């Protein structure tokens, strides 16, 4: 049996109580799987709900009402994400390449990405930088004069 979908803006059909609670839970960082488990729904059902325009606009309303930002929600997941990386890295059944990527991500986030050194071997040094600067300024002025004379 398909549950009624709220109409956007005109109030013809209002969301079911579990859908209203799902909006608040989603806005405060709960995952679709967590919401599905709590309300005895399938993850696909909750995923479909989350894709509805009315649901997304209500989530935005809850976020703005409680001064929550998406960035704050992401920051709240930092420890969980690190735990996931560590679990994958420590799992002996995980392919070595994936384990290396996890280790590199952990290092990059904790120590920063390695500095890349750039070498430039074709540097032109001037014997007299002041004279070089004056020569370049004169060249720029000459080119401006030519451009003005050409345009006149």
Total of domains in the chain: 2
Compute the average pLDDT of residues 139-144. Answer: 94
Please report which confidence band the pLDDT of residue 100 belongs to, taking 50, 70 and 90 as the band edges. very high
Query: Quick one: pLDDT at residue 63?
Result: 81
Compute the average pLDDT of residues 78-97. Answer: 90
| pLDDT at 47 > cutoff 60 | yes
Co-location of 31 and 62 in the same domain: yes
Task: Report yes or no on 85 lying in a domain.
Answer: yes
Structure tokens given for 130: 């002041």
Task: Report yes or no on 138 lying in a domain.
Answer: no
Please report which confidence band the pLDDT of residue 9 belongs to, taking 50, 70 and 90 as the band edges. very low
Among 36, 68, 100, identify where a domain stops: 68
Q: Is pLDDT larger for residue 23 or for residue 76? A: 23
Co-location of 23 and 63 in the same domain: yes
Q: What percentage of the chain reaches a pLDDT higher than 90?
A: 41
| Mean pLDDT for the chain overall | 84
Task: Report yes or no on 131 lying in a domain.
Answer: no
Co-location of 32 and 64 in the same domain: yes
Q: Which domain holds residue 87?
A: 77-111
Co-location of 22 and 61 in the same domain: yes
Task: Report yes or no on 56 lying in a domain.
Answer: yes
């Amino acid at each position: 049996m398909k549950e009624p979908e709220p109409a956007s803006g005109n109030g013809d059909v209002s969301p079911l109580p579990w859908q209203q609670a799902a909006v608040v839970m989603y806005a405060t960082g709960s995952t679709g799987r967590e919401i599905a488990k709590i309300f005895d729904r399938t993850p696909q059902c909750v995923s479909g709900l989350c894709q509805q325009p009315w649901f997304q606009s209500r989530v935005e309303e809850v976020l703005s009402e409680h001064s929550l930002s998406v960035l704050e929600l992401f920051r709240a997941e930092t420890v969980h994400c690190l735990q996931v990386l560590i679990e994958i890295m420590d799992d002996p059944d995980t392919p070595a390449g994936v384990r290396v990527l996890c280790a590199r991500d952990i290092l990059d986030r904790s120590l920063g990405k390695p500095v890349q050194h750039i070498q430039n071997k074709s540097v032109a040094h001037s014997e007299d930088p002041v004279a070089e600067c004056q020569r370049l300024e004169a060249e720029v002025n000459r080119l401006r004069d030519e451009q003005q004379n050409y345009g006149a």
